[in-house]
Amino acid sequence: SDKQVSCIGCGVFIQTEEPQKLGYAPESALLKEEVICQRCFRLKNYNEIQDVSLTDDDFLKILHGIGQSKGLIVKIVDIFDFNGSWLQGIQRFVGSNPVLLIGNKSDILPKSVKQQKLINWMKREAKELGLKPIDVCLVSSQRGHGIKEAAELIDEYRNGQDVYVVGCTNVGKSTFINRMIKEVANVQELITTSHYPGTTLDLIEIPLEDGTALYDTPGIINHHQMAHFVDKLDLKLLSPKKELKPKVFQLNESQTLYFGGIARFDYVSGGRESFVCYIPNEITIHRTKLENADALYEKHVGDLLTPPRKDAIDSFPKLIPHTFTINEGKTDIVFSGLGWVTVNNPGVKIVAYAPKGVNVTMRKSLI
Ligand code: GDP
């Protein structure tokens, strides 16, 4: 029949066409009396959250629903993609609910980065974007760093109420939730033993011990993320698994650095200076003269200057310049979703290029 079937886990309409989208179940699942979507199936049987993507409208609907409910919002961001992974307008949707801001992927931060400085920066940045989090913390969902502390904060701030975990795709939200399930024993117990009651459309409900729940929301696709401008293979290079190794460059005026072919750093003026690059180890940095930089890109994007790879350059956006004059010592030029360059001294003029749509910003250095 063509009657729409709903998942008994989360209530979403079942579809059998698109595995990456919400409500997917293989054809064979439809033969069963009780149909469960693949996402709920995995959670139930393997204690594992699988991320799916939603359209923007769907996501807004969910956020709106959260604003109408009472609970703690846990917003996950990628500390290497703070601006790119920000959810526009989140402050309007959360209503009066408190927001705990969690910066993920702390394992790639070089040791020299002061975590407290990063936390302070996240607070300021969130405030500037219109959100005042109740607290900010750092975790590595991959390695498990800070997870117990985050769980404690969640427990403290939720005040006996439900928890909603939000974040855009690729910030590591599923890794975070899976880590919570594994490390916070009572959560695991509850998932494996309790009846699986989820009823809220599009939200995955993970029951907590006192009758409240932790809800996973599907990731929103944020179109400004660097991650969307590169294909899957290139994205691997942009998702480092190891601590970043800072690379120092002594530059004269009118020299250019290319970070693969995805970003460019022109040192325009300010005398001989050193610059420290914090970008994924796998991305090769090429130095050239400013006057040759355009021609080099024309000729070598996709081979010498990669990512993007050759067969991905057609869909890769143009690099757009952003001009900065450094007035204070030790300043970072941040390429959202890629990393940053620390400028040591004031009086320096920089032009930083990123793909159209990707943010480049300046901040006080974290070192
Ligand atoms: P989601 O789309 O937000 O659910 O993100 P995923 O959980 O699928 O993670 C996106 C990418 O980030 C994957 O390549 C993960 O391996 C990686 N990732 C997630 N958490 C961490 C972390 O703590 N550290 C590092 N280095 N990578 C992470």
Q: ω into residue 307 within 30 of 0, thus cis? A: yes
Q: Which domain holds residue 36?
A: 1-46
Do 190 and 284 lie in a common domain? no
Task: Give percent of the chain above pLDDT 90.
Answer: 50
Output the average pLDDT for the chain: 86
Do 244 and 333 lie in a common domain? yes
Residues 180-224 have pLDDT tens digits of: 877 776 665 555 443 333 334 456 777 777 777 787 776 666 777
Residues 87-138 have pLDDT tens digits of: 877 888 888 899 999 999 999 999 989 999 999 999 999 999 899 999 999 9
User: Distance (Å, rounded) from C-alpha 296 to C-alpha 310?
Assistant: 15
Do 318 and 213 lie in a common domain? no
Q: What is the pTM (predicted TM-score) of this model?
A: 0.84
pLDDT band at 51 (very low <50, low <70, confident <90, very high): low
Tell me which of 178 and 143 has the higher pLDDT: 143
Indicate the burial class of 190 (C-beta count within 10 angstroms; 0-12, 13-18, 19 or more).
middle
On the question of pLDDT at 79 being above 80, the answer is: yes
Q: Among 175, 176, 177, 245, which residue has the most ligand 1 atoms within 8 Å of its CB, making it the best to mutate?
A: 175
In a domain, 226, yes or no: no
Number of domains in the chain: 3
On the question of pLDDT at 152 being above 80, the answer is: yes
Residues 229-258 have pLDDT tens digits of: 887 778 888 888 889 999 999 999 999 999
Do 52 and 39 lie in a common domain? no
Task: State residue 345 phi and psi, 5-degree precision.
Answer: -130, 155
Do 75 and 168 lie in a common domain? yes
Q: Among 49, 102, 142, 173, which residue has the most ligand 1 atoms within 8 Å of its CB, making it the best to mutate?
A: 142
On the question of pLDDT at 47 being above 70, the answer is: no
Is 167 touching ligand 1 by the criterion CB < 6 Å?
Answer: yes
